Structure 1
């Protein structure tokens, strides 16, 4: 199923503005997301990075400017044409977004069941191959409630890549995972990028350890614009004051997770637990 010969897609953003009703969040942004790379979209809370991804997915309207996927101007497409293009997107949501009433095999099979006329036998074979790729073949007949958080993430990834999309979007792929499982997820992302060589990957994350491990390219969003758009190496070596401050804040937040200390509350809880 390796699709290295498929056409790779890049994303070009030209003076793009988007947002909610009267509120413009993305403000005349210019940036380029290279094909066949993993791009991490970073930024402080409220900076516009989630709005940008929702704009890519067509969930938020474009107010002005242009957006190109593989040199095709999205803003020139009608709704039907964009829906057809969006079929080529893979999306991994934070919790995997699995349907609780379906087992893992049927969850991953959904895109092929809904959008193709392949036989059940062909779909089952394809799904089992993908599940084997993400290390979940033995869990094919389990239900989401029977899976750990890391397994649900991998299951969501399997469903996102079952159609071998040229664009793959991740929303916080390592959030809620312990350090070991996060490391395994990062390795899996790198494996997927190596296996599907045509694929362009965009991930939103606050996990700077993950960024340093998997990202090729960085798009740092600040106040709705692209404050930085370039290679990971240039980002981490930048002397830009905002970037340096951003990295220092991220490091400080990792080191300064102080647990609350309220003796009065603790004593009351101890008395209740012992009663």
Structure 2
């Protein structure tokens, strides 16, 4: 199992005269974990359903493996759907089936595997999500967290290359949410599949994904690597990711300008960029996530285009985290030092004038 790229261009969806969102363009990098955020009612679940072809958009394209799902034939769409695994918001288990039969359902429906093969695969996936020994239990006999994990096991049985999570943390207490988040990170490390998670949970958005996107007012406000979104000064993004009352988002939708200005005056000067929470690491014994190195390489390439405060925040976050998945070698990132300091290596980068000096190995590495 390995992830594939999902490229969305100019996607628009309406129900009758009600426009849900327009001109949504983003690319889900292969093998990485992405999160889609947004206030309630912004069409996040609609986006997931459109992504797998359950809903037809009016405009735009969704390209996977050089196939446009919006314009392809029904037979081709059916084949492409086999690349997906979906964890629905409530688990969507069949109440009259035990967990084994629920998880085995896609194998029996879409493959010609023998019952012995089905048994082995289901046992493997149930063990993977921590449900070994619960095969005969009914959905009504288990907790909400267990139902989520059973739904996840079912999403994994066909070894999908793309896994969609529709609010996996809804209805879960903070402890179960933390366990589920760790499970998602470990699964990504083991499968290198492409993950897209719809969530409202700020802690999940800050600590789990490689990439973050946000829907707001019928458009995609922003999408990019976690470091870029978490240091963004875009008002709606900053407000949502930091859980602030001050900003353009109101209780119903958008605040008027006067109200927003009044609240900002009452609050006074807001603190600058908060320290970024570290991204969750894999559990002991689980292989390193390849996605981390790929994402950080992209961030290195675009860092000089970001505002100075964002650059500094990203450098600080990297300096505090040992990196073992960097392209070109592991170890901690080099640190900025005065020119000529012991162990300093000169690194030239676009926009650096005068040159930037770092401690680190005796080779030139991209500026961080």
Query: TM-score normalised by the shorter chain: which range applies?
Result: 0.7 to 0.9
Query: 1:26: how far off?
Result: 2.2
Q: Distance in 2 between matches of 1:60 and 1:116?
A: 25
User: Residues 233 and 73 from structure 1, CA distance in 2 versus in 1: closer, same or farther, beyond 3 angstroms?
Assistant: same
Q: Which has the higher contact order (CA 8 A, sep 6+)?
A: 1
Question: 2: distance between equivalents of 1:64 and 1:147?
Answer: 42
**1:175 aligned to 2:170?**
yes
Q: 1: CA distance between counterparts of 2:95 and 2:20? A: 34
Greater strand fraction, Structure 1 or Structure 2:
1
Q: CA deviation at 1:32?
A: 1.5
The alpha carbon displacement at 1:224 in A equals: 2.3
Calculate the TM-score normalised by the size of structure 2. 0.64
Q: Where does residue 96 of structure 2 map in the other structure?
A: 101
On the 8 A contact 2:53/2:69 being kept in 1, the answer is no
Which among 155, 164, 179 is matched to residue 159 of structure 2? 164
> 1:272 aligns to what?
none
- DSSP-derived class of the 1:36 partner: coil
Match of 2:140 in 1: 145
Q: Do the aligned partners of 2:99 and 2:150 also contact (CA within 8 Å) in 1?
A: yes
Higher mean displacement: 31-40 or 238-247: 238-247
Give the alignment partner of residue 36 of structure 1, picking from 21, 25, 31.
Answer: 31
- Whether the 8 Å CA contact 1:26–1:51 is kept in 2: the answer is no
Report deviation, 1:122.
0.9
Aligned to 1:154: 149
Q: Does the CA contact (< 8 Å) of 2:6 and 2:30 recur in 1?
A: yes
Which residue of structure 1 lines up, in the alignment, with residue 222 of structure 2? 228
2 CA distance for matches of 1:98 and 1:126?
18
SS in 1 for 2:53: coil
The Cα of 1:147 is off from its aligned counterpart by 0.9
TM-score (norm 1): 0.85
| Structure 1 residues 28-84: Cα deviation after superposition (integer angstroms, max 9, x where no partner) | 222111111111000112222222112112222121122212332222301222122
Cα contact 1:19–1:60 (8 A) shared by 2 = no
Contact 1:15 1:66 in 2 (8 A): yes
| Structure 2 residues not aligned, in runs of 5+ | 247-368
More deviation in 138-147 or 20-29? Answer: 20-29
Mapping 1:5-20, distance limit 5 Å: 6=2, 8-20=3-15
**Aligned residue for 2:120?**
125
Residue aligned with 2:140, SS = helix
Q: CA deviation at 1:129?
A: 0.9
Greater Rg by CA: 2
Structure 1 residue aligned with 2:189: 194
Aligned 8 A contact 1:10 1:200 in 2: yes
Residue 265 of structure 1 is matched in structure 2 by none
Structure 1 unaligned regions, length at least 5: 254-275
| Structure 1 residue runs of 4 or more that deviate by more than 3 Å after TM superposition | none
Distance (Å, rounded) in 1 between the aligned partners of 2:83 and 2:232: 35
Alpha-carbon distance between aligned partners in 2 of 1:151 and 1:117, rounded to the nearest angstrom: 28
Instruction: Give the length in aligned residue pairs.
Output: 246
| Higher helix content, 1 or 2 | 1
Distance verdict in 2 for CA 1:251–1:150, change over 3 Å: farther
Alignment deviations for residues 102-135 of structure 1 (CA, whole Å, 9 cap, x no partner): 1111110000011111111110011001101111
Partner-residue secondary structure (3-state), 1:61: coil
Determine the C-alpha separation between the residues in 2 that align with 1:145 and 1:75.
38
Asked if structure 2 preserves the Cα contact closer than 8 Å seen for 1:42 and 1:204, the reply is yes
- Aligned residue in 1 for 2:239: 245
The 2-side partners of 1:63 and 1:9 are apart by 25
